[in-house]
Structure 1
Amino acid sequence: MRELMGEAPTDEVLTDDAFLGGRLHLLQPQRGHRAGHDALLLAASAPEAGRAVDLGAGVGAAGLAYAARVPVATLTLVEIDPALADLAGRNAARQMPGLAERVRVVCADVARLGRPSGPDMPAAGAADLVLMNPPFNDLARHRASPHSGKALAHAIADADAEVWLRAAERLLAPGGRLALIHRPEAIEALLAGLKGRFGAVTIRPVHPSPEAPANRLLIGAIKGRRTPPALLPALVLAGGDGRPSAAAEHVLRAGGAIGPG
């Protein structure tokens, strides 16, 4: 990790961090919300698609990790914070040759994207895949961070996840796919928000270790389907000895996909 002074749009100190075993390098603010395993797990859980949109992209971690794995994908990174949107564009430009040509950045509010009269970009009904890493922490159970950027990225009520699902539904073409990561505590609100919009819902628990409860859910769904939900085998990130599991190494270091079953 390197610290860079004076290069952030907000004059914040930036760090230059390596992901996926050094295949992805991201500039991100030293303070506030920072990209980590959640973004990489989300990218690895998403099926291959031609036209992908990453909602709440931050500095671009999930979307760029996905684009690095899927060379046929074009990608739109959507971020409400202009400073982070600027960093997402800079991060796209500094990856492998040709990747930036497949990526565009849109500074937009997810809530507006879900309205029938929402912005023209990204275009409604044009995406094959939407990736979502919504803010996780329900304000009824968690104190918001005093850092405004971190609070924006981390804290909304569970019920407000429907706002993000509405945006995903509007952006996806019929039969388009949704991939999202969230906390297990939000499952009731998520299933309620998916109902009537998406079907063929798959739920994969993610456990930090074999004996620990799941602390994340990887959820997939298809717009317009009515197929019942399915619970997939769990992903365990570390063994009893604390060392990363083979599955975690495959995803977090090698940049591989999480299989469908």
Structure 2
Amino acid sequence: MSDDAFLCGRLHLLQPLKGYRAATDPVLLAAACPATPGQSVLDLGCGAGAASLCLASRVPGLSLAGLELQPAYAALARRNAERNGIALEVAEGDLSHMPKALRRGFDHVIANPPYYPAAGTPSPHAARDRALREDTPIGEWVTAALTRLHPGGWLTMILSAALLPGALAALPPRGGSAQVLPLAPRAGRDASRVILRARKGGKAAFRMLFPFVLHAGPAHDGDRESYTPEASAVLRGGGDLSAAFG
């Protein structure tokens, strides 16, 4: 087990040395969620709690809940929440059979679904393989999220770009006002990941936003951090992505 600092040490999360380990994706996901104090948030597939806890560090007074399929990660999320002094309710279960404890409405649902194809080469670490492999179709993630949202509530997901068409197709008729923020590794590079925001009952036109660039310069030029100032403000400083969404 490692004890990893997030947001320049504002959070410390225990993570397995082998298996799925949170990196930048849950931090970006938390930064994109437009939650405000007093609202409720459900994290589908919360893992060790990284996204929920990063969100809580930025927005005080949230009511946080997480769903996690793997008992070991669910236990780790509870432990990480306690050691960071953040209240997080974690239920174990599958999103296709939502536990009774989470069968209620939320103002926000966030998710970082698995992105490796189900038919790909499996990881030698079973827990990592289960966390990253796309066993549940992306449309089922979207459907489960919309089911749990209050009318007018927001769904925020970070996705492999390859999963975006399926996620968008699953939004109607209950979800709309979709906004897609491409995450470009560098200026001029294709975005392999995107952030999708959509609203339950939303009617606004679809928006493809200007890419959010993560790294400065044309290529990696040494063993040092190369985040753009905007990315550093989010990944290190705990800022939000509201400016990117307009």
TM-score surpassing 0.5? yes
What is the Cα deviation at residue 233 of structure 1? 1.9
What is the Cα deviation at residue 54 of structure 1? 0.5
Q: Of 94, 112, 122, which residue of structure 2 is paired with 1:133?
A: 112
What is the Cα deviation at residue 203 of structure 1? 0.1
Whether the 8 Å contact between 1:60 and 1:91 is mirrored in structure 2 is yes
Partner residue, 1:249? 232
Name the aligned partner's letter for residue 54 of structure 1. D
- Asked whether 1:121 is paired with 2:121, we answer no
What is the Cα deviation at residue 21 of structure 1? 0.6
Give ranges in structure 1 of 5+ residues lacking alignment: 1-13, 114-118
Question: Which has the higher mean CA deviation after the structures are superposed, 235-244 or 50-59?
Answer: 235-244
Whether the 8 Å contact between 1:58 and 1:88 is mirrored in structure 2 is yes
CA distance in 1, matches of 2:91, 2:58: 22
Partner residue, 2:178? 201
Q: Of 116, 121, 126, which residue of structure 2 is paired with 1:143?
A: 121
Partner residue, 2:34? 47
CA distance in 2, matches of 1:40, 1:186: 20
Write the mapping of 1:106-117 to structure 2, written as runs, cut at 5 A.
Answer: 106-113=91-98
Matched residue of 1:48: which SS?
coil
The Cα RMSD (Å) is 1.4
Q: Of 11, 14, 29, which residue of structure 1 is paired with 2:16?
A: 29
What is the Cα deviation at residue 67 of structure 1? 1.0
Partner residue, 1:173? 150
Name the aligned partner's letter for residue 2 of structure 2. T
Question: Which has the higher mean CA deviation after the structures are superposed, 24-33 or 221-230?
Answer: 221-230
Matched residue of 1:176: which SS?
strand
Whether the 8 Å contact between 1:132 and 1:181 is mirrored in structure 2 is yes
Matched residue of 1:256: which SS?
coil
CA distance in 1, matches of 2:134, 2:128: 12
- Asked whether 1:86 is paired with 2:82, we answer no
CA distance in 2, matches of 1:188, 1:197: 17
Matched residue of 1:68: which SS?
helix
CA distance in 2, matches of 1:37, 1:145: 20
Matched residue of 2:157: which SS?
strand
Name the aligned partner's letter for residue 252 of structure 1. L
Q: Of 148, 153, 159, which residue of structure 1 is paired with 2:131?
A: 153
Equivalences, count: 236
